[in-house]
Amino acid sequence: MHQGLVDQVAFITGVAKPNGIGFATAKALAEEGVKICITDISPMVHERGEELKTIGVDVTSYVTDLRQLSAVKETAVAVIERYGKVDILCNIAGMVVTGGDEEELVPILNLDERDWDFAIDLNLKTTFNAIKAFLPYMVNKKYGRIVNCSSVTGPVVSNPGEAAYSAAKAGIMGLTRGLAIEVAKDGIVVNAVGPGWITTDASLEGELIGGRNTPVGRGGTPDEVAIVFKFLASPDVAYVTGQLIVVDGGNTIQEYKGPSKYYY
């Protein structure tokens, strides 16, 4: 157990799915003695909270629409009233709304304003709103660790039909870097994680094939992404800020991405 993390308080977004990165991150930090606050737009977040309680974790769960700044601020007030502080903010919510429709691939020619706004709100505005709600408490304390979930899609690569999602995830990196500079002297470091092909129960066949064609030969697991979130949330990470750590099995560094038997 990392003594520097014991009794710290973490607020983690996007923690509805039992096999998602959000829940894996909550468990990884809880193992280090961190008090856990989790939120999602879906009431399933309470189920994740009960699971954590069964293993002795000090956890509180909140249903919050992160797209609404006023709602996030209300949740932040509740967290501070209960725990008196927040040390770690992990912004993981995004991609799709739990219980809603899956992501649609829409070419820019067919992308309407509503779809664009939805992607930006879900993936970028949610991160901005959580930062706006919790940053004042970190600045007042002169300490904080903010870890945003970006992606390889947008900052590094992209796919047809994912312009809006790519723009949002690249925007998270711009937000990460801009904020990192602004709060560096306040004892707050801000970084981002860029997952690649991560295998979950909801992975589509094409995503599974993408994972098998990484240099590692498989998709990553939520736990393997959570390890990086835990690292960046540590008090030891005091001189790393404004950075993107890619977790993709080496996929984005290889030129050839087809079946290895045809090339190497």
Supply the residues annotated as catalytic.
165
How many Cβ atoms sit within 10 Å of the Cβ of residue 212? 15
Q: What angle do CA 14, 123, 62 make, to 5 degrees?
A: 30
Q: Is 16 helix (H, G, I), strand (E, B) or coil?
A: coil
Please give the C-alpha separations between residue 247 and each of 18, 64, 71, 177, 222, in angstroms, as whole numbers. 20, 28, 31, 19, 10
Please spell the DSSP secondary structure of 136-204, one letter per residue.
Answer: HHHHHHT-EEEEEE--SBTTTB--TT-HHHHHHHHHHHHHHHHHHHHHGGGTEEEEEEEE-SB--TT--
For residues 91 and 66, is the Cβ–Cβ distance under 8 A? no
Nearest to 171 by CA among 144, 198, 153, 183: 153
Identify the helix (H) or strand (E) that includes residue 91.
strand 88-91
In angstroms, rounded to a whole number, what is the distance separating the alpha carbons of residues 247 and 77? 33
**Residue 201: exposed, middle, or buried by beta-carbon count in 10 A (0-12, 13-18, 19+)?**
exposed
In angstroms, rounded to a whole number, what is the distance separating the alpha carbons of residues 53 and 171? 35
